[in-house]
Every structure is written in structure tokens, then in C-alpha cells.
Amino acid sequence: MKDPVTTVSGITYDRESIEHWLSTAKDTTCCPVTKQPMPRDSDLTPNHTLRRLIQSWCVLNANKGVDRIPTPKSPMNKSHVVKLVRNLNVPDFHAQALKKMEEIAGESEKSRACMVEAGAVKAMISWITRRFKEGKFDSVEECLKILHLIWKPTEDGKEMVKENGDLIDSLLWVLSSEMEEKENNVSSKTHALLVLRTVVEVTSSALLERLKLNFFNIIVAVTRKNISSQATKAALRVLIQVCPFGRNRLKIVECGAVFELIELELNKPEKSLTELIFCLLAQLCACADGRAQFLKHAGGIAMVAKRILRVSPATDDRAVHVLSSVARFSATNKVVMEMLGVGAVSKLCMVLQADSDKGLKRKAREVLKLHSNVWNNDSPCIAVYLLTKDPR
């Protein structure tokens, strides 16, 4: 035990363990030992005597490599956080209150839940939008970090954001601004993107349909700069989330996103980033403008072909989807021959022979059949793959 507490049943437990027990119980909650009923909000009384005994034992056994357990902090309560929120509006206490709130947000899930209950989310959103309107950056980074740590896309979050265009504009302001210190610049933009990702999850579809071209220009620009892996992933998730609404897909293409996605993937990023790139690329190549931009890049088809069967089943599915869109709707003679020349056709044949999903094999076979007459002339082995029965 690190922080022993006694429950209403008289049994002592470690605070973290009994709090987890109380928070995860499905229906009725009872004492694990006595089976007596225990309310979820039961008072947990610190057992100072046992804690001192534990600490003494640690000291006695220090020569055996046992570290002394520090005296635990007093559990966070709502009234304390409410006071900190109020102090945000007092100039003399503002900085100190914000620093303390940042510390609390990093402590535990219970502390973060307490902050949400005390209205910290609304206070952070209000402060960020106020600073945006005043054109001042002070304290914005701290507010963004706190907001990212404590804010979850719940029903309450929907009510706070739903039609709040000011919050989106505030985050875009942070993303498009340059700060003096490079470290603060990266940190602020990363947290702004992480918060923006939560915002788009709870924003109304009506507001997402009205997003302006400037929104996409800024997000794509952040992707192009690739300031951090976390920021790039958040930016891609934002674009994936808003892509289906209104004319957003065309706006994303207009900002040059397809070209940037190909360039980003050519740098051989980590697997999770590649999956996000292909998820967005598949959506953008579903429209004519997206395919046109994809085909303008000299390495587009080759890059997609190379990733098949090398990253993950999800990437395979989206890569074949991209090739299918191109083969069906943008298949000029030059494109068809390029697919053969850079190995895209061979890769599709490999999908048929690999231990792949049946649906993926069906898609690959359909693409191969689209231009089999052309590809057979230049590569007779293609016909063998098309005629081979798939045993799976």
C-alpha cells in the first residue's frame, strides 16, 4: 500500500485500488471483504497509523533497495478547483492558479474528473477565446495543455462547443501564428491540434459543413511542416473527421493535401501515421479533383503500390481502393501503362496469392479485370493470375 484509507465498513485498502473498485462496479457496490453495501461516493478516511508503519518499514529495509513511500497528497476536492477557476479572473492570482491547475490535471484521472465537474473545461475555453479576441498569447499554451488533458468528447462537451465557431477560430489563430521560442511554438500548436480534434468530434454537422477554405489551408500547412509526429497525426485525424461534410473534400484537395500526403508517406513514417495517410488519401481519391492531383505526382501510383502487403490490412484495403478509383475513372492509356510499369499490377496479382482478406482479393481481381486486355499484351503472366481459382 502507498496511501492506505479506511472505508465505512472498517476495512483498510490502498486508495487507488478501492477507488478503482468503486468506480468500475456495474450495479451495486459492496466492500470486497465484508460484502457490506458501500456507496460510490463513500468517504475514504486516511489511515495515518498504517501509513507511518509502512514508511518506517521502508526506511528499515532501505539497505535492501526499498524506497521510502512519500507522504501522499490530500485528495483533490471540487471546492478547491472552483476557487482556482475563480482566481483565473483575478490578475494577481491568475498565473499561480493556472500553474496549479496544470499540476492537478497531470496527477490522476480522478483529479481531472474533479476539474471537469468544477467547470474547468468551460473556463479554459472561455480564456482561450478571450485571448484570441485580444490578440494576446500569454497563458494560451497552459490553457490548451489543461484542456487537452481534462476534456473528453462527451454530451457536456457537445453543449459547450456545438455552434462555437469562436473556439475553432481561436485554435486556427494559434496554429497560424509564430511564437518567439521554437519549443513553445511546437508545444502550443500540438496541443491546439489535439484540442481541435476533440472539438470536431463534438461540433454540430451544420458548423462542420460551413468550414471555410482557410481552415483547411492552415491544417494542411501544419501537415506539410510536420512539426511533430503527434501534431501531424492530430491534423490528419481532423481532416478525416471533417472530410465527409458538405464540400470539405473538395476544399481539402484544393489546398494541395493529396500532394502533401504522398510527400509525407515517401519519408517512410511510422505505421500508425501511414494508416492515417492512406485513410485520408482513399477518401480524397474518390473525387475527380483528388485523382487528378494524385496522378500529377510522379510517385503517387508507385508509392501506393509499394505499401501494399507491407504495412497493415487496413492500409492494403485503402491502397487497393485508391488504385481501383484510378483504374475505373481516370484510366488514360498513360495511367494504365504506368500502373504496369511501376509494379501496381504485379502487386494486385500478389494480393490474389497472399493470405489476404477475401473482400480485398475480390477488389484486386476487379481492378485487374478492368484493363486485362491491355496488361495481358505487355505481361502475359497477368492472364494466369486472372484465370487461377482462389482456393480461399
Nearest to 97 by CA among 105, 107, 88: 88
Contact 379/339 with Cβ under 8 angstroms?
no
Split at pLDDT 50, 70, 90, the class of 383 is low
Does 292 have pLDDT greater than 70?
yes
State how far the Cα of 256 lies from the Cα of 212, in Å rounded to an integer: 15
DSSP string, 321-361: HHHHHHHHHS--HHHHHHHHHTTHHHHHHHHHHSS--HHHH
Give 107-136 pLDDT, tens digit per residue.
777 788 888 888 898 899 999 999 899 988
Q: Give pLDDT, residue 155.
A: 54
Does 160 have pLDDT greater than 90?
no
Q: Give pLDDT, residue 240.
A: 97
Question: In terms of pTM, does the model score above 0.85?
Answer: no
Does 48 have pLDDT greater than 80?
yes
Split at pLDDT 50, 70, 90, the class of 205 is confident
